[in-house]
Structure 1
Amino acid sequence: MSGSVPLVEAPMSSDPISTAGMSRRDALRAGAAGLLSAAIAGPTRAFATEGRRRILVLGAGMAGLTAALSLLRRGHEVTIIEAQNRIGGRLMSLPLGDGMFTEAGGGHFRSNMPYVLHYVRHFNLPLLGLNDGLPRYLVDGETGDGAHLAAWPWQLAPDERNVSVSTTLNRYLERVGLDADTALDARWPDLDIMARLDNVRLSDLIRGVGASDGFCKLLNAHAGPFTGDSPALGMVPRAAYHFGDKNLFRIQGGNDRLPMAMAEAVGLDRIVLGAAVAEIDQNGARVRVATRDGREFHGDAVISTIPFSVIGDVRVTPGWSSGKARLFAGMAWDKTVKVIVKTRTPSWLAHGVYGWPMAGGDRPWERVIDITGNEPGGHGSLFFYLNGPNAEAVMARPKPERARWVVDQFKADMPDLLDEVLFMDDFAWAEQPWIKASFGGTPLGGGWMIGECARPEGRIHFAGDFTTFKTGWVEGAIESGLRAARQIDPAATPEGNPRIRQEL
C-alpha cells in the first residue's frame, strides 16, 4: 500500500495564502481567506435593484450556492457563511495520482437529474461515463453474478427469475401504482401517496404485491442493507434514481468542480470560509448571525443549510418553534464510511463484473462501487460503501487499520476481482464536525417533516438535500436551494433558466 493522500484540508492560516503557481481549482480547494482580495467578478445584475434585500446564506454546498446565485441574479446582496475551510459541502473530490480523482462525497449523476446536468452544461464541465451495476452478489453464503441470471442460487418467486433486480423492483413498484418517473417530480408525493406510504417500509410495500424474501435480500445487497427496512417515502425516489436510469456520469477532474464553478460565479468576496455559525438572532430589525470566532453579519433574511444533525449547536433567538424542535430531534441521520481503493488495473472487467455496484452482499464490506468508467490512466478506481452497523464497525477500529481490514475481507470473499492495490484509505462523514453524519431522512411516519422543512421560521428559510425526499442527491440540494430562494423572491430562477419538465 502506498502512502495516503490527505483527505481533509489543513487548517486555514490567518495569513493570506499566496496563489502563485496555483490553478483556480487549487485555490478554491484551499479555501483561504486571502483569496478574497482576488475575487472574481460576480454575476451581472439582470434586474433593477428596487426592493434589494441582503441575504445571509449559511453553507457553501450545492443548496446554498444554488440559492445564492439565483438571488444574486435578481439583484439582491448575498453573503455565504461557511463553517468549513472549503467549498462544496458533501461534494468532495480527492486526487489519486495519474490524473485520477475519486469522490469522498457524491459519487455520480444520472440523466434523470435534469437540474444537475443543466448546471454541469451551463458551466461547461466535461463528463466521464460510468457503468451501471452488473454486480456479483454474496448473500446467505451463496454467490451469483448479474451477468448469469439463470444460475442464481437463491429461493426466488418464479417471476423473479431470469430478470435483473432492477427490472423486478420496477415491476413491483408499478403494481402499487408508482413509477421511476413521477416519483422524481419535485411536487411528489401528493397527499394520497403521502397517506399510503408514510408508515410503510419498502420491503413491506413490495412484499404485499409478491416480492419474496430472497428478492428482498438481493435488493439489500444491491442498494444497501438499509434499503428494505427504510420508509418507502424516502426509498422510492432513491430507487427511481438507482433503478430507473442506467446512464451514469462523473465530472472529469472531480465532481466538486461544479460547486467550485458556482462559487466563481457568486464571487469569492461574497464567501466567508472557516466561519462556523454560533448564533442567529431575529429580534432586531435585521437578522444577526454571529460566528464562533466573534464575527457578526446582518441581513434581511437567512437561508440555512446547516445540517439538522448539528443545528442544536446554534443558539437561536427567539427559540425554535415546537414544529422545528420536533423536526430537528426526530430526523434520522445515517453514518457512511467510504474505503477508497486504487488498483493496478480494473481487473474485475475481465470477469464481467463492474459498475454501480460491482459487488454487494450481507458481508461487513457491504457494497463495492466501481467508478473507473472511461477515466484515463488505465488504473482501477473503486470504493467500498458502508452504512449503519458496518460503518460503525469500521470506525471502531484504529484509523490506520480500517481500509486494510475492509479490503482484506473482500479479497477473502472474492479473491479474483482485485489485482494489486496501489492505494487505500477511508473517509467517514460522521467524523466531520460540521455534519457528524452523512444523510438525513424522514423516519417511519415522518412524512410531515418535509413540509416542516419547507416552512420558514420567521426570517429563516431552510435548504439542503435533507429537506427533500431526495436526500443524499445533488438534485435535491438544487431543488431545495431554489425553493428557499423563491420564498424570498418568487421570481428567482435556476442558473441559465433551464426548461425542466418536472418543475418546482
Structure 2
Amino acid sequence: MAFANRPTQPAPGLGRRSVLRAIGGVAGAGLAAPALGQASNRKRVLVLGAGMAGLTAALSLLRQGHEVHVIERQDRIGGRLLSVPLGDGMFTEAGGGHFRSNMPYVLAYVRRFGLPLLSLNDGLPRYIVEGKTGEGSNPAGWPWALSREERNVTVPTMLNQYLYRAGLDTDTVLDSRWPDEGSLDRLGDVTLGDLIRGVGASEVFCKLLDAHGGTFTSGSAALGTIPDLAYHFGDQNLFRIRGGNERLPSAIATAIGRERFALGAEVVLIDQSGANIRVATRDGREFVGDAVISTIPFSVMSDVEVRPAWSPGKRRMIAEMEWDKTVKIIAKTRSPSWLTRNVRGWPMAGGDRPWERVIDITGNEPGGFGSVFFYLNGTNADAVLARPKAERPATILEEFRRDMPDLFDEVISTDSFAWSEQPWIRGSFGGPPLGGGWMVREWKIPEGRIHFAGDFTTLKSGWVEGAIESGLRAARQIDLDARPEGNPRIRQEL
C-alpha cells in the first residue's frame, strides 16, 4: 500500500521544502508542454486532486487535445507520494514507500520520465509472535506449532499455496478486469483469514502472516486484501526513486504545465444542475467545465456540497467505505546493521508487538546510513496517536530495542507521520468493508458528468498502480482514446 499533497500542518521535523519542484520543473525531466491532439469533441475537464490519479487523468486527456484544469486543496502536488529529506542526500517516504516490477503502469511512467532508481531488498524478516522469535532465513527452526505442510517454507510461499487452493493466484487478481461477478459473490463477505483457513491454514500461520503483512492482514476483507498481497508476494523486485518517489508526480506536473494548476483550492461545491458543471472553492474561486474527474477521498467528501445530491448508491458508498489509519515512525541509523544479522527488506521485522513491523528501505542508497520506518495500523496506530507527536518515535524505538536489541546501531534521527492527521484525507487506505463488494461496480459508474478516480476506487488501494489505473479509467470515460504514458507492457486491460 495503496499514496497527496504536502500536509497543511507538517509533522514536527519533516521540514517544508520549497513548494513543489514539481510545479517549477524537475531537473532532468526535459519535458516541454505536451503536444496537443485534435479532439473531435474538445471538452473542458476539471480534475479535482493532484495526486497520481488526477495527474494521470489530466495528462492523458491533455494529450488528446482537451482543455484540462487541475484543482488541488493543498499547496503541493503528489497525493500520498510524499518524500521526506533525511539529510546526506537521503530521502524516506511518508506515503508510498516502494514500487514492484509487477506494476506495469508505474514502470512505464518511470521510464517515460527518465527517473533514476534505487533497488531495495524484499523482506527477509525476523518474527516475534506469542513471545517466540524465529528467523525468516531459517524456517526449519521456527518454534511455532505449524502444520506439517507449513514447516520448512516461508510465509509468502505458503500463502501462495493457499491462494492457489482457493482458486486464486497473484497474477490474475492484478488484472484490472478482476474481480469477475463470481469472485465478487464468493469473496465479498469473507475475510482473508477465513478464506485460507478453509483450505488448510493453521491459526499460527495466520498470526505469522499478520506479523509479515501487518496486524490487519488476516482479519481484512479478502476482496481488497488479496491484490495487496499479490504485489508483495508475487514479485521480489522492489525499487524506489532516487531523490524521493515524489519526483514521479513532479515530472508529470511539469509535463502538464504550471498554468493548468490551481493550488490551495479546497473544493466546497460541485454543481452540475446547469448547462455546465461548476466547481467552487473555499477561497471564492470558481471553475466551469464540461466534465469533472474527482479524486477527492470519500473520507472528506461529506465536506463538499453536491448539486443535485448524490444518488443513493454514491451516497452509501461514500458513507460506508472504510478508511484505515496508518502511522509511520521514521528512523535514520548510522548503518544498516541489520544486514549483518541476515534480516532485511520489506519487512525486516514483524510481530504481535506495539511496533508491529519495521520496513528497511535502505537498499543500495549511497552514504552508508540505514533508513527504516515502523508501519503501524489499527490498535497500534491508535495507541501511538494518543501520545503527543514529540513522544511517538522514542516510545516505539524503546519497545523495538527491548524486543530486538541487536538490529539497530546508533539512531541518528527520528520523525513520525500520520495520514489520519492530514485534514484533506483524514485516513490512509480506503476500501470496501466486508459485504462491500457492490462498491466495485458503483465507483466505476459516473454520476452524471462526475467521474471517479483515486486508488481507493480500485482494489489496489494504497498503490500508485491503482491510482494510475483509476485515472486512466476515468479519462477513458470522457475520451476512449485516452492513453497512458510510456507504452506500458501489460497483459492487464482496462
Equivalent residue, structure 2, for 1:501: 491
Give the alignment's TM-score, normalised by structure 1. 0.93
User: What is the CA distance between 1:495 and its match in structure 2?
Assistant: 1.4
In the aligned structure 1, how far is the partner of 2:15 from the partner of 2:47? Answer: 23
Counterpart among 346, 351, 355 of residue 365 in structure 1: 355
Equivalent residue, structure 2, for 1:44: 35
User: What is the CA distance between 1:451 and its match in structure 2?
Assistant: 1.1
1:181 aligns with 2:171: yes
Equivalent residue, structure 2, for 1:430: 420
Equivalent residue, structure 1, for 2:13: 6
Q: Secondary structure at the match of 1:187?
A: coil
Equivalent residue, structure 1, for 2:395: 405
User: What is the CA distance between 1:29 and its match in structure 2?
Assistant: 4.3
Equivalent residue, structure 2, for 1:13: none
Q: Secondary structure at the match of 2:395?
A: helix
Q: Secondary structure at the match of 2:329?
A: strand
Are the counterparts in 2 of residues 198 and 232 from structure 1 also a CA contact under 8 Å?
A: yes
Are the counterparts in 2 of residues 66 and 482 from structure 1 also a CA contact under 8 Å?
A: yes
1:306 aligns with 2:296: yes
User: What is the CA distance between 1:496 and its match in structure 2?
Assistant: 2.9
1:269 aligns with 2:276: no
User: What is the CA distance between 1:170 and its match in structure 2?
Assistant: 0.1
Moved over 6 A (4+): none
In the aligned structure 1, how far is the partner of 2:490 from the partner of 2:340? Answer: 40
Q: Matches of residues 336-375 of structure 1 in structure 2 within 5 Å? A: 336-375=326-365
The change in CA–CA distance for 1:312 and 1:5 in structure 2 (over 3 A counts) is closer
1:441 aligns with 2:457: no
Q: Matches of residues 132-151 of structure 1 in structure 2 within 5 Å? A: 132-151=122-141
Equivalent residue, structure 2, for 1:21: none
Are the counterparts in 1 of residues 146 and 204 from structure 2 also a CA contact under 8 Å?
A: yes
Are the counterparts in 2 of residues 29 and 87 from structure 1 also a CA contact under 8 Å?
A: no
In the aligned structure 2, how far is the partner of 1:439 from the partner of 1:5? Answer: 23
Consecutive unaligned residues in structure 1, runs of 5 or more:
11-25
Offset from partner CA, 1:305-353 (integer Å, 9 cap, x none) = 0000000000011111100110011100000000000000001000001
Are the counterparts in 1 of residues 121 and 344 from structure 2 also a CA contact under 8 Å?
A: yes
Q: Secondary structure at the match of 1:169?
A: helix
Q: Secondary structure at the match of 2:481?
A: coil
Counterpart among 20, 28, 31 of residue 28 in structure 1: 20
User: What is the CA distance between 1:388 and its match in structure 2?
Assistant: 1.1
In the aligned structure 1, how far is the partner of 2:221 from the partner of 2:19? Answer: 41
Q: Matches of residues 48-197 of structure 1 in structure 2 within 5 Å? A: 48-197=38-187
Are the counterparts in 1 of residues 61 and 479 from structure 2 also a CA contact under 8 Å?
A: yes
Identical-pair percentage: 70
Give the alignment's TM-score, normalised by structure 2. 0.95
In the aligned structure 2, how far is the partner of 1:482 from the partner of 1:413? Answer: 45
1:415 aligns with 2:422: no
User: What is the CA distance between 1:285 and its match in structure 2?
Assistant: 1.1
Q: Secondary structure at the match of 1:288?
A: strand
In the aligned structure 1, how far is the partner of 2:61 from the partner of 2:85? Answer: 33
User: What is the CA distance between 1:8 and its match in structure 2?
Assistant: 6.2
Q: Matches of residues 445-460 of structure 1 in structure 2 within 5 Å? A: 445-460=435-450
1:383 aligns with 2:376: no
In the aligned structure 1, how far is the partner of 2:396 from the partner of 2:80? Answer: 23
Offset from partner CA, 1:384-404 (integer Å, 9 cap, x none) = 000111111101001110111
1:465 aligns with 2:472: no
In the aligned structure 2, how far is the partner of 1:187 from the partner of 1:106? Answer: 24
AA partner of residue 342 (structure 2): G
Are the counterparts in 1 of residues 332 and 372 from structure 2 also a CA contact under 8 Å?
A: yes
In the aligned structure 2, how far is the partner of 1:243 from the partner of 1:433? Answer: 33
In the aligned structure 2, how far is the partner of 1:113 from the partner of 1:41? Answer: 26
In the aligned structure 1, how far is the partner of 2:379 from the partner of 2:176? Answer: 32
Counterpart among 471, 475, 480 of residue 465 in structure 2: 475
User: What is the CA distance between 1:500 and its match in structure 2?
Assistant: 2.0
AA partner of residue 113 (structure 1): M
Are the counterparts in 2 of residues 5 and 96 from structure 1 also a CA contact under 8 Å?
A: no
1:296 aligns with 2:303: no
AA partner of residue 20 (structure 2): L
Equivalent residue, structure 1, for 2:7: none
Q: Secondary structure at the match of 1:279?
A: strand
Are the counterparts in 1 of residues 325 and 420 from structure 2 also a CA contact under 8 Å?
A: yes
In the aligned structure 1, how far is the partner of 2:32 from the partner of 2:121? Answer: 38
Q: Secondary structure at the match of 2:406?
A: coil
In the aligned structure 1, how far is the partner of 2:278 from the partner of 2:425? Answer: 22
Are the counterparts in 1 of residues 23 and 254 from structure 2 also a CA contact under 8 Å?
A: no
Are the counterparts in 1 of residues 12 and 389 from structure 2 also a CA contact under 8 Å?
A: no
The change in CA–CA distance for 1:413 and 1:104 in structure 2 (over 3 A counts) is same
In the aligned structure 1, how far is the partner of 2:438 from the partner of 2:214? Answer: 25
In the aligned structure 1, how far is the partner of 2:59 from the partner of 2:13? Answer: 31
Equivalent residue, structure 2, for 1:18: none
Offset from partner CA, 1:254-296 (integer Å, 9 cap, x none) = 0010000000000011011110101111111111100000000
In the aligned structure 2, how far is the partner of 1:237 from the partner of 1:74? Answer: 31
